[in-house]
């Protein structure tokens, strides 16, 4: 398991680019909202800690992870420097998990290939609710924090490219 003994919230703040002029969109799935709200808080707080003004963070909610693709595409059109797509899909008894995970992964990848504003994949795809809890503010830190760090770095890369 990639996150064993690793806290996802640890990063070197001194190595971060100046994010004070950036504007970010965060698209949050309402499905498994106890998890996605934890991820959102991690992402939001990290953006703020790195100088992003609260007024430069736009949040949109969508019903589920599948809808993150469309909303992220529309968010790219909103004069943002980066988008964070937040969701949580937990393995169930059917193949639905596989279809949703594959579609969302490919859809967000496609947005990054075909468009100019980076979309950061912050969709937990866990086997159990406990694994999701541990990665959304639990013992493994917060994947939302990691996504915000990636968003800032990718916005900076986009600016330089």
CATH number of the CATH domain containing 36: 3.40.50.960
- Residue 140 designated active-site: no
21-54 pLDDT, tens per residue? 999 999 999 999 999 999 999 999 999 999 999 9
- Left, alpha or beta for 120 (phi > 0: left; psi -120 to 50: alpha)? beta
Integer-rounded Cα Rg, in Å, for the chain is 15
From the candidates 96, 109, 139, 159, which is the catalytic residue? Answer: 96
Q: Which pLDDT belongs to residue 8?
A: 56
Q: Which pLDDT belongs to residue 4?
A: 56
Phi then psi for 87, rounded to 5 degrees?
-155, 175
Q: Which pLDDT belongs to residue 63?
A: 98
pTM for the full model? 0.94
Q: Which pLDDT belongs to residue 7?
A: 67
Residue 24 counted as domain residue: no
Residues of the chain where predicted confidence (pLDDT) is lower than 70 = 1-8
Q: Which pLDDT belongs to residue 71?
A: 98
3-state SS string over 116-155? CCCEEEEEEEECCHHHHHHHEEECCEEHHHHHHHHHHHHH
Q: Own/partner pairs for 72-79, CB < 8 Å, 24+ apart?
A: 72/25, 72/27, 72/108, 72/111, 72/119, 73/111, 73/115, 75/25, 75/27, 76/25, 76/111, 76/115, 76/116, 76/117, 76/119, 78/25, 79/23
Q: Which residue segment(s) compose the domain that 43 sits in? A: 29-160
Q: Which pLDDT belongs to residue 10?
A: 84
Residue 3 counted as domain residue: no
Residue 78 counted as domain residue: yes
Residue 16 counted as domain residue: no
Residue 11 counted as domain residue: no
Residue 125 counted as domain residue: yes
Residue 5 counted as domain residue: no
Residue 138 counted as domain residue: yes
Q: Which pLDDT belongs to residue 69?
A: 98
Q: Which pLDDT belongs to residue 98?
A: 87
Domain total in the chain? 1
């Amino acid at each position: 398991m990639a996150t064993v003994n690793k806290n996802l919230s640890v990063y070197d703040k001194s190595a971060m680019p100046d994010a004070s002029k950036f504007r970010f969109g965060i698209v949050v799935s309402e499905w498994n909202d106890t998890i996605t709200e934890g991820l959102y808080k991690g992402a939001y707080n990290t953006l703020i800690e790195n100088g992003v003004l609260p007024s430069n963070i736009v949040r949109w909610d969508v019903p589920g992870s599948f809808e993150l693709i469309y909303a992220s595409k529309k968010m790219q059109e909103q004069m943002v420097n980066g988008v964070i797509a937040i969701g949580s899909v937990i393995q169930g008894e059917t193949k639905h998990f596989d279809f949703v995970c594959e579609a969302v992964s490919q859809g967000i990848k496609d947005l990054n290939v075909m468009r100019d504003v980076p979309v950061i994949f912050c969709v937990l795809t866990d086997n159990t609710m406990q694994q999701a809890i541990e990665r959304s503010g639990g013992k493994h830190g917060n994947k939302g924090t990691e996504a915000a760090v990636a968003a800032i770095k990718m916005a900076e890369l986009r600016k330089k490219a």
